[in-house]
Amino acid sequence: MPIWKQPISVDILQDISKGTATEHLAIEFLEVGDDFIIARIPVDHRTIQPYGLLHGGVSVALAETLGSCGAAFCVPEGFRTVGLDINANHLKGASSGWVTGTTHPVHIGRSTQVWAIELKNDAGELTCVSRITMAVLGAR
């Protein structure tokens, strides 16, 4: 059973990302399921650090994008969600290809949400695990 309280699709997520950091980092949304979102980011000149590895902050940007989008579409129209806390454990570097992230909800409450995000390289190896806590704000 879908968890979404608003219409959501890959096309909607790509459209709302125009002109944002998500677009600037070339994050691509790939799939929306009943309770998950998948997106990927290229490992290239825009996203690496000086040692040629995907920048840790960019990994966190992908994780935050996924968790924030999940949270935003799990609240009724007119409500907003904002990040309270994010953490990330960087487990393996990525120096080429794509890093793909999947987010699932851990907790969807009235005032907070917690989302888990796993990032993997092209070989399917875990590169980063992250968790984001979101506050749910009422309509203005």
Residues annotated as catalytic (active site), given as ranges = 64
**Residues near 91 by Cβ (< 8 Å), separated by ≥ 6?**
126, 127, 128, 129
**Residues near 58 by Cβ (< 8 Å), separated by ≥ 6?**
25, 41, 47
- DSSP state, 127? E
Buried b (16+ CB within 10 A) or exposed e, 30-60: eebeeeebbbbbbbeeebbeeeebbbeebbb
**Residues near 3 by Cβ (< 8 Å), separated by ≥ 6?**
34, 35, 74, 105, 108
Token pair of 138 as six digits: 């009422």
